[in-house]
């Protein structure tokens, strides 16, 4: 351990907590230690839950919650280069992509501040029934209680923001367990909330053993909602175990895009950029492209050179498009899926200097893992199809349902695809990887059971109390 490695404590009840043990955070690119974080477990999770429950006893009025959220947004903007550097160092995300994430985290706080200011219930038209005549009724939106938040490695800042910012907007204290490989960005944001004036206990961050911390969050009756983003196996298991709580899941996808014969000129450019950004480690990274036969030859001729032109290398370099995947185990899994496929590898497929070259596979079998599971790596498959009917049917042949895309100049085809693709969101003439932070974003089927985006999350994190007045 060199003296220059930064050390970070857990944030519990407003205090910086040491535990005597440390988690080393390593660069996925070089393997060097980029920071170390105090390692927590069940005991620290319980302290954090106690601190959150105590915070709930002293509610913060909406105008103050909104002002804190706005101040955090400004602080992120002021320190966006530091945050982007932290994201890039711990996740191996190319710096230019990390900068976009830092900006998006600021906008997530801004949208959460808006929601804090306008959170309100509804009036009920009581005299619409004879029984209601002479009564006035309305709902109050009340904080649901303590929130347990569990976040993944791939957007270590903005997906944390999508949990802790709406929680504060809703008036709920939160206990966050970030991914063990990327806890630094989460602590960065939580500490900015403290700097922005958040009283103790409203945000608590416990890094360490997922099972031990997760079990405490599941078992504690004061936790009324768990918000989880990550893999389906972990998420659905949490939902089963925490059946008395609201468990909101944002999970994976095997993202399809349909390219019709009349797709716009820039279709290949958009899809090439969005299949390989952050080495394909986005839940809506383009994975399966269904190309109609009339467009097949020209699309392949346009797409493959664009993929080959992407710059693969050190995520800290300004020009890098594609960096490492999160660890060697994931790298080996992805390569083994490429080796198993029955399709033709048109480009890539090998590992150079520890990095998977961006890989394009033509016509793998529907049973290949690259077709039916979430690859979460720099690999995209192209499928030649005879018709829009076939494209929609095959795009839907997946247990997942997060986002999908169709590229066409024909409004009827676009609207048909939008109706028939069984996904939480459908983009038209835009990569399915597109997300703006005010959107309702979330999947159906195995991809989850909720919509994230501050306006939607705040409603999940509150409950309606009906008040009936006899006049
Ligand atoms: P993961 O392995 O499921 O981990 C996600 C989080 O769950 C981490 O904080 C992890 O902690 C924690 N965890 C693991 N086991 C747990 C347990 N038994 N109890 C409680 N928590 C537990 O997922 P990941 O590899 O970080 O992320 C990739 C996945 O996330 C992909 O499937 C991707 O599609 C999905 N994702 C979905 C969205 C969306 O919005 N739909 C966005 C981004 C990513 P440790 O790190 O300590 O193991």
pLDDT digits (tens, 9 = 90+) for 72-126: 999 999 999 999 999 999 999 999 999 999 999 999 999 999 999 999 999 999 9
pLDDT value of position 324:
98
- Distance from C-alpha of 87 to C-alpha of 90, rounded to nearest angstrom: 6
**Best of 163, 231, 400 to mutate for ligand 1, by most ligand atoms within 8 A of CB?**
231
Distance 87 CA to ligand 1 centre (A): 17
**Closest C-alpha to ligand 1, atom 17:** 211
Does residue 378's CB lie within 6 angstroms of at least one atom of ligand 1?
Answer: no
Distance 383 CA to ligand 1 centre (A): 29
Q: Where are the beta strands (DSSP E) in 348-433?
A: 351-352, 355-356, 359-362, 379-385, 403-407, 425-428
Q: Where are the beta strands (DSSP E) in 363-429?
A: 379-385, 403-407, 425-428
Other CB atoms within 10 A of residue 362 CB: 17
Does residue 423's CB lie within 6 angstroms of at least one atom of ligand 1?
Answer: no
pLDDT digits (tens, 9 = 90+) for 232-258: 999 999 999 999 999 999 999 999 999
Q: In what order do the strands lie in the sheet with 223-229?
A: 15-17, 10-12, 203-205, 174-177, 146-150, 223-229, 246-250
pLDDT value of position 5:
85
Does residue 150's CB lie within 6 angstroms of at least one atom of ligand 1?
Answer: yes
Distance 160 CA to ligand 1 centre (A): 12
Other CB atoms within 10 A of residue 22 CB: 18
Report whether pLDDT(144) > 80.
yes
pLDDT value of position 4:
67
Does residue 250's CB lie within 6 angstroms of at least one atom of ligand 1?
Answer: yes
Does residue 446's CB lie within 6 angstroms of at least one atom of ligand 1?
Answer: no
Residues with active-site annotation: 250, 283
pLDDT value of position 3:
47
Pairing relationship of beta strands 33-38 and 123-124 according to DSSP bridges: unpaired
Report whether pLDDT(373) > 80.
yes
Does residue 60's CB lie within 6 angstroms of at least one atom of ligand 1?
Answer: no
Tell me the Cα Rg of the chain: 23
Other CB atoms within 10 A of residue 434 CB: 14
Please state, rounded to an integer, the average pLDDT across all residues of the chain: 98
User: What are the residues facing 441 on neighbouring strands?
Assistant: 452
Report whether pLDDT(280) > 70.
yes
**What average pLDDT does the segment 376-402 reach?**
98
- The pTM score is 0.97
pLDDT value of position 220:
98
Q: Kindly state the tokens that stand for 442.
A: 């979330």
**What average pLDDT does the segment 22-49 reach?**
98
The number of the ligand 1 atom at minimal distance from the alpha carbon of 150 is 9
Does residue 210's CB lie within 6 angstroms of at least one atom of ligand 1?
Answer: yes
**Closest C-alpha to ligand 1, atom 16:** 210
CA torsion sign for 371, 445, 177, 286 is positive
**What average pLDDT does the segment 37-57 reach?**
98
User: 234: which residues sit within 8 A by CB, 6+ positions away?
Assistant: 210, 228
**Best of 37, 40, 149, 152 to mutate for ligand 1, by most ligand atoms within 8 A of CB?**
152
Pairing relationship of beta strands 425-428 and 359-362 according to DSSP bridges: unpaired
pLDDT digits (tens, 9 = 90+) for 393-450: 999 999 999 999 999 999 999 999 999 999 999 999 999 999 999 999 999 999 999 9
**Percentage of residues in the chain having pLDDT higher than 70:** 99
Only one residue has tokens 């620290």, namely 44
Burial class (CB in 10 A: 0-12, 13-18, 19+), 259: buried
Q: What is the full DSSP assignment across 234-255?
A: HHHHHHHHTTTSEEEEE-----
Other CB atoms within 10 A of residue 200 CB: 17
pLDDT value of position 1:
43
Report whether pLDDT(2) > 70.
no
Q: In what order do the strands lie in the sheet with 22-26?
A: 7-8, 33-38, 22-26
Does residue 230's CB lie within 6 angstroms of at least one atom of ligand 1?
Answer: yes
pLDDT value of position 248:
98
Q: Where are the beta strands (DSSP E) in 47-90?
A: none
Distance 228 CA to ligand 1 centre (A): 8
- Distance from C-alpha of 213 to C-alpha of 177, rounded to nearest angstrom: 7
């Amino acid at each position: 351990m060199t003296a220059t490695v930064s050390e970070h404590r857990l944030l519990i009840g407003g205090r910086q907590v040491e535990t005597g043990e440390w988690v080393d955070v390593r660069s996925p690119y070089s393997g060097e230690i980029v920071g170390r974080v105090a390692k927590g477990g069940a005991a620290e999770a319980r302290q954090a839950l106690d601190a959150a429950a105590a915070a709930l006893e002293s509610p913060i009025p909406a105008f103050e919650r909104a002002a804190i959220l706005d101040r955090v947004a400004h602080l992120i903007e002021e320190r966006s280069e530091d945050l982007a550097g932290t994201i890039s160092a711990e996740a191996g995300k190319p710096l230019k992509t990390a900068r976009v994430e830092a900006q998006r985290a600021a906008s997530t706080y801004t949208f959460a501040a808006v929601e804090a200011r306008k959170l309100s219930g509804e009036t009920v038209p009581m005299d619409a029934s004879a029984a209601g005549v002479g009564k006035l009724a309305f709902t109050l939106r009340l904080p649901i209680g303590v929130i347990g938040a569990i976040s993944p490695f791939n957007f270590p800042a903005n997906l944390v923001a999508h949990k802790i910012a709406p929680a504060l907007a809703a008036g709920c204290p939160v206990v966050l367990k970030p991914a063990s490989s990327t806890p630094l960005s989460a602590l960065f944001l939580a500490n900015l909330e403290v700097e922005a004036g958040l009283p103790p206990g409203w945000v608590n961050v416990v890094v360490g053993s997922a099972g031990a911390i997760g079990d405490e969050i599941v078992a504690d009756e004061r936790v009324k909602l768990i918000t989880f983003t990550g893999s389906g196996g972990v998420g659905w298991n949490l939902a089963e175990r925490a059946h008395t709580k609201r468990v909101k899941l944002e999970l994976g996808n095997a993202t399809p895009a349909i390219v019709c014969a009349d797709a716009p000129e820039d279709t290949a450019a958009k899809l090439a950029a969005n299949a390989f950004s952050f080495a394909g480690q986005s839940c809506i990274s383009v994975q399966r492209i269904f190309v109609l036969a009339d467009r097949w030859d020209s699309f392949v001729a346009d797409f493959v050179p664009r993929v080959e032109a992407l710059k693969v290398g050190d995520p800290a370099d300004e020009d890098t498009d594609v960096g490492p995947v999160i660890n060697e185990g994931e790298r080996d899994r992805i390569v083994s899926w490429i080796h198993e496929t029955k399709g033709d590898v048109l480009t890539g497929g090998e590992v150079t200097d520890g990095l998977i070259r961006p890989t394009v596979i033509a016509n793998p079998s529907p049973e290949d893992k690259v077709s039916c599971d979430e690859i979460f790596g720099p690999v995209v498959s192209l499928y030649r199809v005879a018709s829009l009917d076939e494209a929609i049917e095959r795009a839907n042949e997946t247990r997942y349902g997060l986002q999908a895309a169709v590229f066409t100049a024909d409004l009827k085809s676009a609207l048909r695809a939008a109706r028939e693709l069984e996904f939480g969101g459908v983009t038209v003439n835009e990569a399915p990887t597109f997300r703006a932070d005010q959107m309702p974003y979330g999947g159906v089927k195995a991809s989850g059971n909720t919509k994230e985006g501050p306006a939607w999350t705040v409603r999940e994190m509150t409950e309606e109390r009906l008040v009936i007045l006899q006049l």
